[in-house]
Amino acid sequence: MAKLVTIFGGSGFLGRYIARRMANQGWRVRVAVRRPNEAIFVRTYGTVGQVVPVLANIRDDASVAAAIGGADAVINCVGTFDMSGRNNFDAVQVEGAGRVARLTAEAGIDRLVHISAIGADAESDSAYARSKAEGEAAILDHMPGAVILRPSVMFGTEDAFFNRFARMTRFGPVLPLVGGQTRFQPVYVDDVAHAAQMGVTGKAAPGIYELGGPDVGTLRSFIELMLRLIRRRRLVMNMPFWMGSVMAWGLNAAQVMTGGLFHNSILTRDQVRQLRQDNVVSEDAKGFDDLGLQPTDMEAVLDDYLWVYRPGGQYADIQASARNMRNTQV
């Protein structure tokens, strides 16, 4: 019988790419999520019955144990940007990660891949970064042979990075940025999925890998690239960190005053703290080279999905060709 991998958060941005890769490798895939009815689409990644969404919540021992029962490997892709509520940083990224590792070890499973993030630091000013570091420590306490992946900001068709900024261009001539001079090293989501696949199949040695793409630049430079690709002109305005903190405070206050009817997914004070630090691969870190992988160039991918934000959408090239033809005739 084919081997079985359980992927916690397997219907998320990164998780779905890993699920598809594992199915293509002939594995049976169990996609463990809180709302399996919203993850039905993963069934299409393999043959009938090969990829199955199941109910699981990493805040509950019994739920996690049931999800990993009979598995040959486990991948944890679950993360959060919520500082409060039941699914906060500590509950998901520290306690949840530790629970997955502990129960994986108790089940006698020796392959665990955990998705963390570049910037994970127990001494960071950012609660998010601290929780990522504490989650890594909890993983290694129970599974010292785990593979931990720390990607930089990921890009791809469903990303929340370039898509978010591209959507913002539709609402006005100014595009405000907090941390415009902060450096990033965006990485293609399927390259991270490939690294996770190698961890599951034993082709990646245990340890921590920092994963960044071939392009390193400031946040502003990447937004300007995005603007060129979607063929829109916007004034990119760098906001000082103190102004970003004030804006984030106001957005958080709005969330509290509306009782959660307005959910602040725009900018939090903790994200402002994160933006003070570069998000690039450390000089002494293991990365794609150690895995024998060549990361994908951004411009080879961005055009495939950002075209929807062009003024002419799918007809932008046809419109440009027609204008050139008219100019030539004149």
Q: What is the pLDDT of residue 41?
A: 97
**Average pLDDT of 253-282?**
90
Answer whether residue 325 shows pLDDT above 60: no
Answer whether residue 262 shows pLDDT above 90: no
Q: 4-156+186-213+279-295 maps to which CATH number? A: 3.40.50.720
Q: What is the pLDDT of residue 84?
A: 82
Q: What's the pLDDT band for 66 if we cut at 50, 70, 90? A: very high
Q: What is the pLDDT of residue 329?
A: 56
> What percentage of the chain has pLDDT greater than the value 70?
95
Mean pLDDT over the full length of the chain: 94
| CA–CA distance, 12 with 142 (Å, rounded to integer) | 25
> What percentage of the chain has pLDDT greater than the value 90?
88
Q: What is the pLDDT of residue 33?
A: 98
**Average pLDDT of 139-145?**
98
**Average pLDDT of 81-97?**
93
Answer whether residue 260 shows pLDDT above 90: no
In eight-state DSSP terms, residue 267 is -
Answer whether residue 321 shows pLDDT above 70: no
Q: What's the pLDDT band for 47 if we cut at 50, 70, 90? A: very high
Q: What is the pLDDT of residue 322?
A: 56
Please write the tens of the pLDDT for every residue from 156-185. Answer: 999 999 999 999 999 999 999 999 999 999
Domain boundaries, the chain: 4-156+186-213+279-295
Residue 2, classed as helix, strand or coil, is coil
Q: Please, are residues 91 and 59 in contact by the beta-carbon 8 Å criterion?
A: yes
In eight-state DSSP terms, residue 86 is T
Answer whether residue 314 shows pLDDT above 80: no
Which residue bears the tokens 């500590």? 90
**Between 330 and 15, the higher pLDDT residue:** 15
Q: Where are the alpha helices (DSSP H) in 202-315?
A: 219-230, 241-257, 269-274, 288-291, 299-306
Chain center to CA of 43: 21
| CA–CA distance, 252 with 42 (Å, rounded to integer) | 34
**Average pLDDT of 275-282?**
96
Query: What DSSP string runs through 90-154?
Result: IIIIIIIHHHHHHHHHHTT---EEEE--TT--TT-S-HHHHHHHHHHHHHHHH-TT-EEEEE-SE
Please write the tens of the pLDDT for every residue from 184-226. Answer: 999 999 999 999 999 999 999 999 999 999 999 999 999 999 9
Q: What is the pLDDT of residue 312?
A: 75
Q: What is the pLDDT of residue 19?
A: 98
Instruction: Dig out the tokens for 32 from the structure.
Output: 């463990």
**Average pLDDT of 25-50?**
97
Q: What's the pLDDT band for 320 if we cut at 50, 70, 90? A: low
Chain center to CA of 56: 20
